[in-house]
Amino acid sequence: MTTLTQLYPQQQSDITLEGLYLSHNIRSLATNQPFVYSNYVTSLDGRIAVPHPTKPGLVVPKNVANARDWRLFQELAVQADILISSGRYLRDYADGRAQEILQVYDDARFQDLQTWRTEHGLSPQPDIVVISASLEFPVPPELVAGSRTVIVITPDTSNQQKQADLQTQGVKVITVPERVTGTTLVAALQAEGYQYIYNATGPKVLHLLLADNMLDRLYLTQVNRLLGGDPYSGIVEGPLLDPPVDMPLNTIYFDPVDVGQLFLSYNKA
């Protein structure tokens, strides 16, 4: 198994990929506020998504997504109480074109992560919160079939009939005044008892979190490959962040496999 080199905060070679982000011990980091963290795989030119080859919309680029990054995605997900997803994700999921994030560690390769959750006294899967204003998505039956709590958070102005339909399907609907913001999202989840919140959505929800200074840690995998492509899709999308969000470096690892990639993490200032 090819190992990684840690480049920051100190130099260290021969680091094993498996267990790398478990060793970040996310579940020791919450204070009196929930700990919110997010993770992206990007190209060297900063793209997290490119146009779908045959359908409207964007997808995670196939030539930056890779198994080693995916392992780390799972190691971060396994440490969460709840995962943030979006209405867009469930639409793409129904259409068969979304990377699977709902069934984390069901894969036999990730059996050790399932065991990790059991050993830490956690439910088999983190719960899931879907952020949506349109409420236009089908709920995958397997998502509500088990013991997992599925929450939809939506503005109180969203379609009442769709809210009621979701409740009939076993989804807990939380409404917030006017629009979902980083503050209302995190406060609603804290009120439900969630402490470790893993954001798996794209650039608009990350913007909400950053604009309200709600992001505690950002993980980035930067693959040494440039892609181009219009429209540009980076990790954050929305109005200028005012003030800008400073995130001091936490760790850097170099992974030499294939074209090579950096595993980076940053903390809230």
Ligand X SMILES: NC(=O)c1ccc[n+]([C@@H]2O[C@H](COP(=O)([O-])OP(=O)(O)OC[C@H]3O[C@@H](n4cnc5c(N)ncnc54)[C@H](OP(=O)(O)O)[C@@H]3O)[C@@H](O)[C@H]2O)c1
Could you list the residues that contact ligand X (CB under 6 A)?
A: 40-41, 48-49, 58-60, 86-89, 131-134, 136, 179-180, 201-205, 208, 233
For ligand X, give the closer residue by CB, 122 or 155: 155
Closest approach, Cβ 174 to ligand X, in A, equals: 11
Q: Are strands 150-155 and 172-176 parallel, antiparallel or unpaired?
A: parallel
| Residue 72, helix vs strand vs coil | helix
For ligand X, give the closer residue by CB, 137 or 253: 137
Closest approach, Cβ 247 to ligand X, in A, equals: 17
The rounded distance, in Å, linking the Cα atoms of 93 and 96 is 5
Instruction: Name the residue number minimizing CB distance to ligand X.
Output: 87
Closest approach, Cβ 120 to ligand X, in A, equals: 25
The rounded distance, in Å, linking the Cα atoms of 76 and 74 is 5
**What phi and psi, each to the nearest 5 degrees, are found at residue 10?**
-130, 165
Exposed/middle/buried for residue 96 (C-beta within 10 Å: 0-12, 13-18, 19+): exposed
For ligand X, give the closer residue by CB, 122 or 181: 181
Closest approach, Cβ 69 to ligand X, in A, equals: 8
Closest approach, Cβ 157 to ligand X, in A, equals: 10
For ligand X, give the closer residue by CB, 205 or 264: 205
For ligand X, give the closer residue by CB, 53 or 121: 53
The one-letter amino acid code at 172 reads K
For ligand X, give the closer residue by CB, 122 or 250: 250
Closest approach, Cβ 266 to ligand X, in A, equals: 15
Torsion (CA) 191, 193, 198, 200 in degrees, nearest 10: -60
Element (H, E) at 175: strand 172-176
**What phi and psi, each to the nearest 5 degrees, are found at residue 178?**
65, -70
The rounded distance, in Å, linking the Cα atoms of 99 and 64 is 13
